[in-house]
Amino acid sequence: MKNVDVVIHLAAKVGGIAFNQTYPGTLFYDNILMGAQLLEAARLEKIDKFVQMGTVCSYPKYTHVPFVEADLWSGYPEETNAPYGVAKKALLVMSQAYRKQYGMNIIFLVPVNLYGPKDNFDLKSSHVIPALIRKFVDAVQNGRKEVFVWGTGNASREFLYVEDAAEAILAATEKYDKAAPVNLGTGNEITIKQLAELIANLTGFKGKLIWETAMPDGQPRRCLDISLAKKEFAFEAKTDLTNGLQKTIEWFKDEFNKT
């Protein structure tokens, strides 16, 4: 197996708020186990470089905005996604411990919420962007005048288009070799209300948004400080949210119309 020089560990068990609330044990166990086993296998095989993906869900519930990497340890994650976030943060500890004891070249990247074509659009487990796209496209094509949206709409998020994320991971793999975790994002924050209205407009939905305020918002705000990624491996996202959403919506419509 020594002909493998680099391992980029992208696999994860993930889902939206409802999925996290339903399967917290699964999300903790699966994510910590697959990461720990792969890191140990890489050590045994003497892999030259290991890239471990973290998550913005590891940040504390109330974190100064924009989130800087040092804030990862300033508190406990937001309750609805804490098991997933803690599992990923444990892999940061393991990565740094293996670097210290075994001299492994392991880097740890912390992406913000990702989206794009080929995302998971299953409403039982999807994240907010694919869920909203599916709801609005379905409403338009079936003539529905109302779409129900979880929460109050007041929470904010930051989103990174999948192609930009791939470029960031590649740049970090090629150029970054330090123990400190690095945020990957755009540095742009949007409320869920603004996001829903934007997706409604892009899909052509003219009806009413019904906010299910009894449902949880999740973490109150999310927006990353992205200066370290720019400094260390010159990464800056190229795709603005509107263009990324348009590409994602068009992909989903093509898939939707095949069924």
Cα radius of gyration (the chain) = 19
Which among 120, 129, 171, 173 has a CA at the least distance from the CA of 149?
Answer: 129
Which among 257, 52, 78 has a CA at the least distance from the CA of 151?
Answer: 78
Number of H helices, E strands in the chain: 8, 10
What DSSP element (H or E) covers 157? Answer: strand 156-157
- The amino acid at 84: Y
Helices 192-203 and 241-258 pack at an angle, to 10 degrees, of 50
Our answer to whether residue 176 is catalytic in this structure is no
DSSP 68: P
Catalytic pick among 29, 76, 84, 98: 84
Cα–Cα distance for residue pair 171/110, rounded to 1 Å: 14
Could you tell me where the DSSP H helices lie in 103-213? 128-142, 162-175, 192-203
CA 194 to chain centre: 19
Contact criterion met (CB below 8 Å) for 239 and 161: yes
Q: Which residues are catalytic?
A: 84
